[in-house]
Chain A
Amino acid sequence: MATGFSQIETPKPVASDSLVYTTGYGLRLGADISKPINHLFNKEYNGFEIVADYRITKKWYLATEIGVEESTVSEDFFNFSAKGSYLRVGANLNAYDNWLDMNNEIVIAMRYGYSNFTHTLHQYTPHTTDNYFPVAPIDVNIETTGLQAHWLELGVGMKVETFTNVFLGVTGSYKILVHTEHPANFATLYIPGFNHLFQSNSGFGFQYTVSYLIPFTRK
């Protein structure tokens, strides 16, 4: 059957290739929600941290965290607590190439950290090599205030924009101690903002953040 219809090809206008996708620039504020959650499950720990960053270029952000932490730690032969406040400042590099107007990040985080803290040795048991004379824990509660520590850290993480301007982030950091003060006849073993200080003068930490971007402009 022959038809009388014929399609006439009419060229459609080609979409302009010049559309520019923009993402927000501004101040992003948030908190590390892992710390209050940790406190719910571990009463020996309490902490709160506010995070902020400010985007300066497509890939670079100025970033800072400020917080307080208190942790009681039990070792084999003694227990102690550390309590204090800390500040970390540095930069984040976004190593992720976003599609279109997406605004997600693979974060490379670089920080300098500072803490002012109190160490309290609560109790210890002298370490003897035999049990001929049983040893009992000795309560001492020796408090050393005004201790200071400085460190550097390198972190890897990601941030995902889950709703407009709301970001979920996770970052793990490797920390290298630059300098810390120690209590007399004891040692600094936990630094607020640094976490456990190991014999190698290093430590690990992580953050799970929720933050909100206050966009000042879009570029």
Chain B
Amino acid sequence: MLKPISLVLCIFFAFSACEKDDFCTTETLTPKLILRFYDSSNPTELKAVENLSVWATDKDTLASYTSVTTDSIAIPLNTSSTSTEYHFKMNNTTGNSADNLYNQLTITYTLEDIYISRSCGFVSNFHNLSIDGETNWIQTISPTTGLTITNETAAHVQIHH
């Protein structure tokens, strides 16, 4: 008499060994800083940067931004620090390294870590972000202070060159 119910219970316990029902599908984890490049002589027109390479101080060049021609980049910020220093190299003449132009920018911010879910964990958002640096091939940056970066849905900073 007890056998059918034993079978039912065995099946119940076999499938109740609880696996996560939750997978990290959130679009925005820790957001990257999105920069768009505009023409300094025509500030509403996008202008691609030629042979652009981007790297942070003491780091290798970002794999996706090694001598590329683009008008938009998304760069990660260091969540273990409250500032990140980036170097931007471009070359719009011959492509010879002697003609490379360099520009350095320092990005400072405060961090806020926000809980998302069991599977995604915590992501960092950036507040009071400001950008400061040389004006070599980069001429103007806007805005330069008071930025809040919580997602990657739109460009955060315009750079004119």
Q: Which residues of A contact B (CB under 8 A)?
A: 75-78, 96, 104, 106, 124-130, 132-136, 138, 156-158, 160, 170, 172, 185-187, 189, 195-196, 198-200, 203-204, 206
Taking the closest CB of chain B, its distance from the CB of A83, in whole angstroms, is 18
**Cross-chain contact of A185 among B79, B115, B120 (Cβ < 8 A):** B115
A100 to B119 CA separation, bound complex (whole angstroms): 53
Give the size of the chain B interface in residues (CB under 8 angstroms).
Answer: 38
**Cross-chain contact of A132 among B56, B113, B114 (Cβ < 8 A):** B56
Interface residue B143 (Cβ < 8 Å from any Cβ of A): no
Contacts of A160 in B (CB 8 A): 2
- Which residues, 1 to 15 on B, are CB-close (under 8 Å) to A? 1-2, 5-6, 8-9, 12-13
A144 to B59 CA separation, bound complex (whole angstroms): 39
Mark contacts of B11-23 with chain A using CB atoms, 8 A cut-off: 1 yes-contact digit, 0 otherwise. Answer: 0110010101110
- Which residues, 24 to 46 on B, are CB-close (under 8 Å) to A? 24, 29-30, 32
A200 to B19 CA separation, bound complex (whole angstroms): 13
- Tell me whether A189 and B123 are in contact (CB under 8 A): no
Closest to B124 in A: A126
**Cross-chain contact of B121 among A77, A158, A199 (Cβ < 8 A):** A77
- Tell me whether B22 and A198 are in contact (CB under 8 A): yes
- Tell me whether B121 and A76 are in contact (CB under 8 A): yes
Mark contacts of B114-152 with chain A using CB atoms, 8 A cut-off: 1 yes-contact digit, 0 otherwise. Answer: 111111111110000000000000000000000000000
- Tell me whether B29 and A129 are in contact (CB under 8 A): yes
Whether A198 touches B76, Cβ cut-off 8 Å, given contacts A126-B123, A206-B13, is no
Interface residue B68 (Cβ < 8 Å from any Cβ of A): no
Taking the closest CB of chain A, its distance from the CB of B27, in whole angstroms, is 10
- Tell me whether B80 and A136 are in contact (CB under 8 A): yes
**Residue from the set B9, B56, B120, B122 with the largest chain A CB neighbour count within 10 Å:** B122
Whether A126 touches B113, Cβ cut-off 8 Å, given contacts A76-B119, A199-B118, is yes
Interface residue B103 (Cβ < 8 Å from any Cβ of A): no
- Tell me whether B9 and A198 are in contact (CB under 8 A): no
A80 to B21 CA separation, bound complex (whole angstroms): 18
Closest 9 CB pairs of A and B: A77-B121, A133-B78, A204-B16, A128-B30, A199-B22, A126-B124, A127-B121, A124-B122, A198-B21
